[in-house]
Structure 1
Amino acid sequence: MDTSTNEGVKPYPPNEYIQTSHTLNRVSRKAVLHGTSNIVLGGKCIIHSGAMVRGDLKRAASGSTIAISTGRYCVVGEGTVLRPPYKTYKGTFSYYPVKLGDFVHIGSSSVLQATSVGSHIDIGRDCIIGRFVTVKDCVRICDGSVVAPYTTIPSGQVWAGNPAKKVGSLPETWAELHEARGRDYYGRFRPATLS
């Protein structure tokens, strides 16, 4: 499913997704979440079929116990992989936590190893977001882009290419438009009613 647009959002078979009772997250039964105790979904998030969220890759006991956390209304596309970035520091191999803000849409078949992704973000399909990338608020990354490790993407920009670079700017109304789109997507992506 293409999460970069709300076109074609259809209700899903009732048995295909699990909806959490309090936070109303919708997680596909065909998604793989490793280390669920180390994953925090902010509420009204959608994890699509085939997505893999690696909460089992976390810092040792002395560090943070949360490997991946999201804000509200985040969408992880089909076949997308979210995993913490890693590095060796003073001879010790460590994973570092991933934090996503609100209204983050990640298209299908993308791989994300960023440390920080702001709010009102649209990451297209087939993207690779390298280790320790920082994405500020209100950013669009176009389909097929490869963002090099340790890159910082400033607010209000559009990035594309391999390697990805700035190709444009977003309108000042981006946050409001993207938020409305995220709420609409969540509202339309619901269990089908049986007739």
Structure 2
Amino acid sequence: MADVVLRGDLHSTRPVPSSSGKEVTPTSISIGRCTVISAGSVIKPPCRMSRGQTHYYPIKIGDNVFVGPQCTISAISISSHVYIGANVTIQQFVIIKENVKVLPNTVIPANMVIASGSVVGGQPARVVGEVGEGWGVSGGGAGGGLGVGGGSEEKWVEGGDLRELVRSIK
């Protein structure tokens, strides 16, 4: 979407050998299929200072990930089927596993690992619940929503049905 900043220029300066034998510069940001990054968000690879030099590490974002507006993300890994609300800050070297919902205005501190199926919120972030069974499945059945414990106050459906959510943010 508009005003998204992907800091792909921040990458390791060490070339790595490829399968063809030539040395190539490694990819700094890898984004999976059906991933939506909303307006005003910034994605930048995590870095660490060592012996006076800054070393950047690649960031990997999985499939079917939704990043809300005005987010700042510097995680090392975000797995598939993750929903990140508006105005979320994810600091360096955070690992987010599959099927996680991050509530709006959350600040996830550096080096935190978030387990699969968790709902995370707060400043600093903490696990506040679990996503219900059937999270991300279309239809209004039990557990279809994103609320804590599978409430049904808002709906999010994986894959192609993200279009409604994208339209609502424009």
The TM-score range, normalised by the shorter chain, is 0.7 to 0.9
Any conservation in 1 of the 2:136–2:158 contact (CA below 8 Å)?
no
Counterpart of 2:11 in structure 1 is 58
The DSSP-based 3-state class of the residue aligned with 1:99 is strand
One-letter code aligned to 2:97 = K
Structure 1 unaligned spans of 5+: 1-47, 191-195
Tell me the matched-pair count. 143
Tell me, yes or no, if structure 1 residue 136 matches structure 2 residue 97.
yes
Using the TM superposition, give the Cα deviation of residue 173 of structure 1 relative to its aligned residue in structure 2, in angstroms. 1.2
The DSSP-based 3-state class of the residue aligned with 1:72 is coil
Tell me, yes or no, if structure 1 residue 79 matches structure 2 residue 32.
no
Using the TM superposition, give the Cα deviation of residue 188 of structure 1 relative to its aligned residue in structure 2, in angstroms. 8.6
TM-score (norm 1): 0.68
- In 2, the alpha carbon distance for the partners of 1:166 and 1:109 equals 22
Any conservation in 2 of the 1:71–1:103 contact (CA below 8 Å)?
yes
Any conservation in 2 of the 1:120–1:179 contact (CA below 8 Å)?
no
- In 2, the alpha carbon distance for the partners of 1:141 and 1:125 equals 9
The DSSP-based 3-state class of the residue aligned with 1:125 is coil
- Give runs of aligned pairs for residues 68-107 of structure 1, distance below 5 A: 68-107=29-68
One-letter code aligned to 1:61 = R
The DSSP-based 3-state class of the residue aligned with 1:174 is coil
Counterpart of 2:114 in structure 1 is 153
2:126 aligned to which of 155, 162, 165 = 165
Structure-2 change in CA distance of 1:179 and 1:103 (3 Å)? farther
Structure-2 change in CA distance of 1:76 and 1:188 (3 Å)? closer
Report which stretch shifted further, 167-176 or 96-105: 167-176
TM-score (norm 2): 0.77
One-letter code aligned to 1:50 = D
- 1:50-82 C-alpha deviation (Å, 9 max, x unpaired): 110110000013356101011111010110000
One-letter code aligned to 1:68 = I
Q: Deviating runs (4+, > 3 A) in structure 1?
A: 175-182, 186-190
Structure-2 change in CA distance of 1:77 and 1:188 (3 Å)? closer
- In 2, the alpha carbon distance for the partners of 1:124 and 1:82 equals 15
CA RMSD of aligned residues (A): 2.1
- In 2, the alpha carbon distance for the partners of 1:139 and 1:87 equals 26
- 1:17-59 C-alpha deviation (Å, 9 max, x unpaired): xxxxxxxxxxxxxxxxxxxxxxxxxxxxxxx111101100000
* Aligned sequence identity (%): 34
Any conservation in 2 of the 1:103–1:179 contact (CA below 8 Å)?
no
Using the TM superposition, give the Cα deviation of residue 174 of structure 1 relative to its aligned residue in structure 2, in angstroms. 1.8
